[in-house]
Structure 1
């Protein structure tokens, strides 16, 4: 199971001067499946391609899909007799898939499985088991032809979506003098414009840039301590979110592995004496512009949205417990949040027409 820290309730401190409090559209507590009405831990969230559903990966192994408009429970994906270990990562299959079957979601679990679910029928279509592994990270290529996994065993695996077979295992090797990860992997990300380029990051403070055609790491970025789904890529710019009290958000050049300009997106603070935010989730906004960055984590237990160009925060929301994951809607208007208080929240992105000074 991914490393999590003991959370403490955030104090009711004032926000940073002139920083907009993000408008919360709804918050929905998610119940577990064991019949005792206890809330379920939530580790990750993901929007469906049409933005009508938000999938939540839960601590009891289930995936619960909530209506994006209001948060009502629409579907529950759960196999009786399973391990009941946490679902740690989710991806909807992109609409570009050549398959006639739609509404496919893949879910990675701490028991080492990757399940393909048909959401609307609530049926598990296929299960892959990675022996002696815990799966913490997933991503699809933009054309949905392949997907990748990462987890406890320090290996990135690339699968063929049509056959569900592993095509490639990417890891370090002393015999081949191959570079790879030396600790757990918590994020994988395909270049949306180049399916042969795959990034991965985790506890070992590196981002590995893999050439899938060559089956090796062609470049390493040093300095990001990734403990969640906090790796993104757009237009040759790599975003990392690190679980640490300083230099949490950084922007890197994909082609060189160097920090861009100063490289850091300052988190800022409200001088209230609260703990700094240590980031579990970070992402570029979706859509054509991709001009915002959302990030959140534990410590100060908050989410912030930043301008990518000015590197300044334009809005924030404090939560009772930490942020474990987040996801922009595909239309870029809202952000879904997986929080440590067993609630899925949706906040509105501030008016994009506002000037960021």
Structure 2
């Protein structure tokens, strides 16, 4: 089924206005740990408890009215952001391989069809979903691969995939055909990836640049005109969706007990600064980061989350101070800012999604 077949389908959801909603359920209370002083707590605006499974990826819809969860049981579940009500559910794959990555297509894309969601799973399937009709528009099978990352370019005209086989593939959105495979480096400057790739990020203003990060302790900068990596950042250990870019600054979140959150110069690949994690968690362990992203109206915040310490944190990008934190009962795998950056969602191995108030937390932290 093509996009054109759905161009006349009416929207099935009722507009829900701004993200507000009921008070959250009682927050998790961490165990007592001697000499542990919790940092300012993020205000949990909504706790969505209907995921029924681990959540490996979470994404807000472009209008912020829905939040999508890619789950360990293979399903994709979409919830009303304010009320937490389950709105849509897609069961992906007979064998129920985990849905590992999601990306909404930009509403500025050329197609008349809105509400397109791209998914990737651990069985190697990449699928296009028309959210409001529940129809799967197209399926691509990358044989022998496990998909860990999918991403649209800002115009929605292309999408990229990456995963177990170390190769980044570029597809044309209109035809769904593969137009590029990226695996090689450039001369003696870069080598490309040589292990699993977990994160992809298009440059927001340069359509020729794509960033990827993985298990091989590198972040690769790909020039799509050259068909190979042109620069590499060495050191970040990427194990989830934890690479982001704003202007000439690259954010990385590493799954390790120190130097988890770092900012890098895209042009020189030099380290701009470490963002200190701050207090250890109530578990007494450091948090090893799985998810990280920029957010806020001017991308002035950094959200990050992970395992072991099981913390989620919000940082001021300029000062590196911790604006707010959550101590959770299990690992967090992913995070995402709502459009406009007023809210941030965290999810993971505790079968719910926590939507937190960025602005309210920031203002209360100043008091």
Please report the TM-score for the alignment, with normalisation by the length of structure 2: 0.87
Query: 1:26: how far off?
Result: 2.0
Query: 1:179: how far off?
Result: 2.2
| Alpha-carbon distance between aligned partners in 2 of 1:41 and 1:342, rounded to the nearest angstrom | 5
Among residues 275, 290, 314, which one is paired with 1:265 in the alignment? 275
Matches of residues 193-272 of structure 1 in structure 2 within 5 Å?
Answer: 193-260=205-272, 263-270=273-280
Q: Indicate if the aligned counterparts of 2:57 and 2:69 stay in contact, CA closer than 8 A.
A: yes
Matches of residues 1-357 of structure 1 in structure 2 within 5 Å?
Answer: 11-13=31-33, 19-31=39-51, 39-79=52-92, 82-172=94-184, 179-260=191-272, 263-270=273-280, 274-287=284-297, 289-351=298-360, 352=362
| Alpha-carbon distance between aligned partners in 2 of 1:14 and 1:170, rounded to the nearest angstrom | 50
| Alpha-carbon distance between aligned partners in 1 of 2:188 and 2:315, rounded to the nearest angstrom | 42
Judged with a 3 Å threshold, the aligned counterparts in structure 2 of structure 1 residues 350 and 20 are, in CA distance, closer, same or farther, namely farther
Query: 1:232: how far off?
Result: 0.2
Q: Indicate if the aligned counterparts of 2:323 and 2:365 stay in contact, CA closer than 8 A.
A: no
| Alpha-carbon distance between aligned partners in 2 of 1:13 and 1:180, rounded to the nearest angstrom | 44
Q: Indicate if the aligned counterparts of 1:315 and 1:350 stay in contact, CA closer than 8 A.
A: no
Number of aligned positions between the proteins: 338
- Give secondary structure in 2 for the equivalent of 1:98: coil
Partner of 1:36: none
Judged with a 3 Å threshold, the aligned counterparts in structure 2 of structure 1 residues 18 and 273 are, in CA distance, closer, same or farther, namely closer
Query: 1:19: how far off?
Result: 3.1
Q: Indicate if the aligned counterparts of 1:282 and 1:294 stay in contact, CA closer than 8 A.
A: yes
| Alpha-carbon distance between aligned partners in 1 of 2:144 and 2:296, rounded to the nearest angstrom | 35
Judged with a 3 Å threshold, the aligned counterparts in structure 2 of structure 1 residues 195 and 13 are, in CA distance, closer, same or farther, namely farther
Q: Indicate if the aligned counterparts of 2:97 and 2:123 stay in contact, CA closer than 8 A.
A: yes
Q: Which blocks of at least 5 consecutive residues in structure 1 are unaligned? A: 1-8, 32-38
| Alpha-carbon distance between aligned partners in 1 of 2:191 and 2:150, rounded to the nearest angstrom | 21
C-alpha deviations, 1:12-44, integer Å up to 9, x for none? 45997583211111222235xxxxxxx322111
Judged with a 3 Å threshold, the aligned counterparts in structure 2 of structure 1 residues 40 and 217 are, in CA distance, closer, same or farther, namely same
Please report the TM-score for the alignment, with normalisation by the length of structure 1: 0.89
C-alpha deviations, 1:249-298, integer Å up to 9, x for none? 000000010001xx1000011586711000000000043x1100000000
Q: Indicate if the aligned counterparts of 1:305 and 1:313 stay in contact, CA closer than 8 A.
A: yes
Q: Which blocks of at least 5 consecutive residues in structure 2 are unaligned? A: 1-28
| Alpha-carbon distance between aligned partners in 1 of 2:281 and 2:304, rounded to the nearest angstrom | 20
| Alpha-carbon distance between aligned partners in 1 of 2:303 and 2:145, rounded to the nearest angstrom | 30
| Alpha-carbon distance between aligned partners in 1 of 2:104 and 2:282, rounded to the nearest angstrom | 40
Please identify runs of 4+ aligned residues in structure 1 that moved more than 4 A. 12-18, 173-178, 270-273, 352-357
C-alpha deviations, 1:50-77, integer Å up to 9, x for none? 0000000011111000000121100001
| Alpha-carbon distance between aligned partners in 1 of 2:192 and 2:200, rounded to the nearest angstrom | 13
Root-mean-square deviation (Å): 2.3
